[in-house]
Structure 1
């Protein structure tokens, strides 16, 4: 086995020094210098996408677990140096995690959430607030889609909706105007499922046929 002196002589680099810890929990997380791209600041829109990017970013920093961990309990009987050191290390890493999340918020949101004491409390507060709003927005979107009216005098088209494609196809077919009943029944009895693009092509062909008949 090569000694440190031999390694230094052959490579020009000294062997790294390994410093053991009496308790691994007592060591604060070391943030790597090379990590993923920092997410853009969250402004209140597209929370799920921002949340996933921030979670990945914190994972590359070895800090993601502090989004879900409570501080270690330190009982009076455990007031030894090792336990106190472990708690201080946890608080330091939680401080880093919390501030990475806060710095990922727009200034207006930063001012609202900066009072949260831990990374977990902050993360859960954002999750409750914006996942609920996302769900409400989706319900509104479905309602707007189902309220969309198709009439004989209006060209057939599909509004861009962030719903499942199969749902959009069925909803569009169901919304066809009365003059399209025969074609609607034809589409509903087709065994092969269509995507939006195929449906639009068929609707345009049928609309052209109806225009020619007029």
Structure 2
């Protein structure tokens, strides 16, 4: 039995977001880089990320070419959507500051200019957190190893290059006082431990 022909898809529809495209939590001024990456992924699932880089098509005011006019209308419509998805991803106070920006690209660039410089301070904060971290005997070692792994992950996310042997050595060095003998045993092992092997041993 032959299948009936499907109806043609209208030309100017905006594709719906796939099930995995989830609107990121609202940006409140902290951790811009993470929010930006999530927002970029979200806009990509909506096929709107190109409007973060594109300038509007330029056509003369007296241009009557229907195709160029409809292309400009389609561009303006999609840029409007992209801009408003970004605005809706901002906390109410930031929304009020940025709602008058004209295009998605202008809005994206403004946010980047303002908050990327502030993120530079976060790098110093995360390094300080890593250096100050000390394990204690009153908490489980594995939960504390997970804490330090999160800090290391944040350092990597900030673009700091931390190789695996350094991560292993840092975790061994930060083991709590009651683990002193085991710490010395690990430090004197000739064979280099992998991070996964260390976690298994702990």
TM-score (norm 2): 0.63
Conserved? CA contact 1:97–1:119, under 8 Å: yes
Q: What is aligned with 2:7? A: 16
What is the correspondence of 1:107-122 to structure 2 with a 5 Å cutoff? 107-122=92-107
Distance verdict in 2 for CA 1:137–1:88, change over 3 Å: same
Extract unaligned runs of 5+ from structure 2. 154-162
1:109 and 1:74 mapped to 2: Cα distance? 33
1:170 aligns with 2:187: no
1:146 aligns with 2:145: no
Extract unaligned runs of 5+ from structure 1. 1-6, 20-26, 203-214
**The structure with more radius of gyration:** 1
Distance verdict in 2 for CA 1:188–1:135, change over 3 Å: farther
Choose 91-100 or 50-59, whichever is displaced more: 50-59
> Given the alignment, which residue of 25, 36, 43 partners 1:58?
43
2:123 and 2:188 mapped to 1: Cα distance? 26
Can you list the C-alpha shifts for 1:114-160, whole angstroms capped at 9, x where unaligned? 1221101111222333333334212222124325579xxx7597673
Figure out how many residues of one structure are paired with residues of the other and give that number: 178
1:188 and 1:117 mapped to 2: Cα distance? 62
Distance verdict in 2 for CA 1:48–1:91, change over 3 Å: same
1:39 and 1:172 mapped to 2: Cα distance? 32
Q: What is aligned with 1:90? A: 75
Q: What is aligned with 1:126? A: 111
Structure 1 vs Structure 2 CA RMSD: 4.1
